[in-house]
Structure 1
Amino acid sequence: MTQHAVPEAAHDVPAPALVTSPVGLAATIGRRRAYWPSLVCLAVLPGAAYLARRHWPAVETGALRLAVADQGWLLVGAAAAVSTWAASALAQQGAVARRLPGSRLVAAQFAASAANHLLPAGLGAGAVNLRFLMRCGLPAGRSAGALAVKATAGAVVRLALIAVLAPLCPGLLRVPHVSPSALAAVLGAAALLAVLLTGPLRPRCRRALAAVLPDIRAVHACPARAAALWGGSLTFAALHCLVLIAVGQAVELPLAPLQVALLYLAASGAAALLPTPGGLGSLDAALALGLTVSGAPAATAASAVLGYRLLTVWLPLLPGLLVLALLVRRKAL
């Protein structure tokens, strides 16, 4: 019997062609994008540890003050912290045209908040939410577009809140002194970015915008979805402000609630420029500095920041990781 020869073309299939699926390509791009934020994280966290060690007496006094704080206000802060996950779920539902499973959506936001404190620049929360939306049947492109819509709405809401609160707290936010060299560096970076966006990156930006615009139109074509997106984003930011306000009241922070809210919004916006996991180190330093410069004693400001972090990060961290493992086990992620 004559044996049929195997066509050589079957052996000539390039290996990379076997791993060019959209999911594999997205994972590769995600790893490349995580490289530089991870380096920045490694540079920022030791600096935060150095500052904590240098100012350890104030930190220690703040922790002791927090231990004897008003328990009623701390419970209010804890309730607000728990409610942030429902607000985040509402905003995520508003960014998607189709109906998502409510209980799993809230659980995914809880798990995403824990994962967000393990990876820099929000990569942990983004990966969890992206996987959840894809498990709910959305294509990878639509899932990424929904995350972009939610993030944009959150940023717009925070800027709008700062614009509303700043006139109500005159003199609280001061424009920092910028040296001519720093100003020149910022202008140079802006010019370079403008050149890139109008040159090599223009096709990619147009493709990304063309992919997101249909989702934005679909969401805002349904009033209920638009209300969920913007209402959830507004509630999420307001609840985080309420957590800090409640902790501040518990430790007798000598600042008005509106001042505390404005300082939190400004500090969280500044901390976003340093992509540490969950803003650890960057947000703490910016928030403590803002409270202290605004007239709060250093120990009281440290107590407020520690209490805020305790309610929003450290206490929910282990349960959030357990929920994350459970969702993975049940193939919800």
Structure 2
Amino acid sequence: MSLLPLDEPAAPPPAPLANTRRRPLTSSAGRRALGLLPILLLAVWAAIDWHAVRDGVARLASADPWWLLVGLLFTYLGAVAAACVRQGAVLERLPPGLLVASQIAAGAANHVLPASIGAHAVTVRFLQCQGIPLPRATASIALYSLVRAVAKTPVVLIFLLAAPTAVPPSELLPQGRTLLLAAVGLLLAPAACAALLTVARPLRRPALDFVRTALTDVKQLHTRPARFLPLWGGAVAAPLIQASVVASVGTALGLPLSWAQLLFAFLAASTAAGAVPAPGGIGPVDAALVLTLAGYGTPLPLATATVIGYRVLTVWVPLAPGMLVLSAMVQRKQL
């Protein structure tokens, strides 16, 4: 009996390895790194297009600073108009301050990715953080894009009738192969979608659910004045506010054009070049806007300076604050 081992207290179980392995990879560190990503993109974008920034600042040095300040005010009013349309596209009431901040951040992301992909991605993430399911958030993006396009058409037509001395719209439309490719793309897009849904059967149910969700939300939104009024009102005001930035820059540089002519110049140029998926519309809209201003009799150097000034006010000046807002919202888990 003396040789038998005495009862000893059991050793405590070893600590689980899973928790110790996850500690170095905290969510806060990953979120902090994700928050710094927009700042890195801003630095890369500035390095690529540095010449445009330098030339724009040099040409704007002799402009009227007060009118440039008015143009910057219209730039940020565009974020307010976009926030109105976003609110009108969902049934839930969104916090106004955070909604406007998300659109400022979305505007910065819109200049990094083409065809408004960056802005829509930021908005979808914001809506999800507000408790809106992904299908309904995606449906609101589709409604936002459709309403913006539909509401802009009567605005352009009114200015077209009110400005008979403008450049003929036929000169702003793509010519030759570009027009042929655009027509083929418009015809093949519905056929490609139909063929994809026919071949890929697993996609049919999500597609039908998306259409049902979108139609249901549209019906409910248009029964509530607190939703369809900001939806359509913001969509009508958005292109006018954006065109007012061009008019402010043109006035600051002393262009021999009226305010209505400057508004129509941008509306016509953006409509003609809106189908080209360039980041923030940079490139096609610029060329069409120079052509429209020159058609009004504006000297080509002055028209070019107006376009550069417009890009400085709408891209470069709000880009750094927009990226900072985007980083702050990511770190606070609002995106």
Q: TM-score, normalised by structure 1?
A: 0.76
Q: Which residue of 1 aligns with 2:269?
A: 267
- Give me the whole-angstrom Cα distance separating, in 2, the residues matched to 1:102 and 1:182: 42
Post-superposition offset of 1:198: 5.5
RMSD: 2.8
**Structure 2 residue aligned with 1:174:** 169
CA contact (8 A) 1:267 1:287 kept: yes
Secondary structure of the 1:119 match is coil
1:115 deviates by 0.7
In the alignment, what sits opposite 1:66? 60
SS of equivalent residue, structure 2 residue 122: helix
Which of the numbers 240, 243, 250 marks the counterpart of 1:238? 240
Partner of 2:125: 131
Check the 8 A contact 1:65/1:251 in 2, yes or no.
Answer: no
- What amino acid is aligned across from residue 225 of structure 2 in structure 1? P
Question: Counterpart in 2 of 1:297?
Answer: 299
Given the superposition, is the C-alpha separation of residues 267 and 109 from structure 1 closer, same or farther in structure 2, using an over 3 Å criterion?
Answer: same
Q: Distance in 1 between matches of 2:295 and 2:245?
A: 20
Alignment of structure 1 residues 201-216 onto 2, 5 Å = 201=197, 208-216=210-218
The answer as to whether partners of 2:64 and 2:252 remain within 8 angstroms in 1 is yes
Kindly report which structure 2 residues correspond to 1:191-230, keeping only aligned pairs within 5 A, or say none.
Answer: 191-193=187-189, 195-196=191-192, 200-201=196-197, 208-230=210-232
**Contact 2:79/2:103 (<8 A) preserved:** yes
Determine helix, strand or coil for the equivalent of 2:91: coil
C-alpha distance in structure 2 between counterparts of 1:230 and 1:196, whole Å: 31
- Distance change in 2, residues 1:310/1:159 (3 Å): same
Evaluate the alpha carbon distance shift between residue 321 and residue 166 of structure 1 in structure 2; reply closer, same or farther with a 3 A threshold: same
Q: Is residue 105 of structure 2 the alignment partner of residue 111 of structure 1? A: yes
Cα gap change, 1:146 to 1:166, in 2 (>3 Å) = same
Larger radius of gyration between Structure 1 and Structure 2: 2
User: What is the percent sequence identity of the aligned residues?
Assistant: 38
Closer, same or farther: CA 309–196 of 1 in aligned 2, 3 Å: same
Q: Is the 8 A contact 2:82 2:235 kept in 1?
A: yes
State the partner residue of 1:8: none
Question: Structure 1 residues 275 and 248, CA, compared in 2 at 3 Å: closer, same or farther?
Answer: same
2:321 aligned residue (314, 319, 322): 319
Residues 1:299 and 1:179: Cα distance change in structure 2 (over 3 Å): closer
Aligned residues: 280
Which portions of structure 1, spanning 4 or more consecutive aligned residues, are displaced by more than 6 angstroms? Answer: 177-183
Do the aligned residues in 2 keep the contact of 1:65 with 1:300 (CA within 8 Å)?
no
- Could you say if the C-alpha distance between residues 198 and 277 of structure 1 is closer, same or farther in structure 2, counting changes exceeding 3 Å? closer
CA distance in 1, matches of 2:305, 2:272: 21
Q: Deviations over 1:224-278 (max 9, x none)?
A: 2100111111222111111111111111112222222122122222332221211
Q: How big is each residue's C-alpha offset from its partner over 1:109-155, in whole Å with a ceiling of 9 and x where there is no partner?
A: 00000011111111110110000000000000000111111111111
Q: Are the counterparts in 2 of residues 197 and 205 from structure 1 also a CA contact under 8 Å?
A: no
Q: Partners of 2:282 and 2:88 in 1: how far apart?
A: 28
Please name the residue that 1:143 is paired with: 137
- For structure 1, the 5+ residue unaligned runs are 1-44
Q: Which amino acid aligns with 2:170?
A: V
The CA distance in 2 between the partners of 1:183 and 1:240, in whole Å, is 26
What is the CA–CA distance in structure 2 between the aligned matches of 1:180 and 1:65, rounded to whole Å?
A: 34
SS of equivalent to 2:170: coil
- Which deviates more, 303-312 or 317-326? 303-312
